[in-house]
Amino acid sequence: MDETKMTACSCKPYNELEATVELMLSEDYKVRFVAEYRQTKIRYERLKKFCNRIEAAMTHPGKVDMPKHDCDLSLLREQQNWMGHYLHALEVRAVVEHIEL
């Protein structure tokens, strides 16, 4: 794996999508794989946090502000569930291909 590219990106926080852009342009598929995993993980965690805020607002009205959303929580949770399955597949593949995430 292109360790130079990996360390060059490490100066930005892991939780920023911008930190993965350069990795996505790598010629090395393992570097691109890590970037894809990180992007998916960031999006998953943001969706999970958003869903939790909606759920908290629903179960504790008046104590937590309802975030603006246009679709049902059930659909958002379904998306989160499938993203979790995808992350799991990437994690298993990383083990098989000896890719450090």
pLDDT for 16: 86
Cα(60)–Cα(100) distance, integer angstroms: 41
Confirm whether 64 is domain-assigned.
Answer: yes
Q: Note the pLDDT tens digit of each residue in 78-97.
A: 999 999 999 999 999 999 99
DSSP state of 61: B
Domain count, the chain: 1
Confirm whether 101 is domain-assigned.
Answer: no
pLDDT for 13: 58
DSSP state of 64: B
Cα(47)–Cα(53) distance, integer angstroms: 10
Note the pTM of the prediction, 2 decimals: 0.83
Confirm whether 50 is domain-assigned.
Answer: yes
Confirm whether 79 is domain-assigned.
Answer: yes
Which parts of the chain have pLDDT scores under 50? 4-5, 7-9
Domain that holds residue 23: 3-96
Confirm whether 20 is domain-assigned.
Answer: yes
